[in-house]
Amino acid sequence: MEDERRIQYNFDEEVARQEAEMNLLRMKSRTRVYRDIGKN
């Protein structure tokens, strides 16, 4: 039972980390788009 809980916790943590990375990539691409708009 304890192992299952630990696996679930690790899985949730991994999902949260991936979501955070996706948000970072989205923010970076968004700022890049804004920078391109500012150039023109």
Look at residue 13 and tell me whether its pLDDT is greater than 90: yes
Nearest Cα to Cα of residue 27 among 35, 16, 38: 35
Give the burial string for 5-34 (b: 16+ CB within 10 Å, else e): eeeeeeeeeeeeeeeeeeeeeeeeeeeeee
The reported pTM is 0.54
Percent residues over pLDDT 90 in the chain: 35
- Look at the block and give the residue holding tokens 């996706």: 22
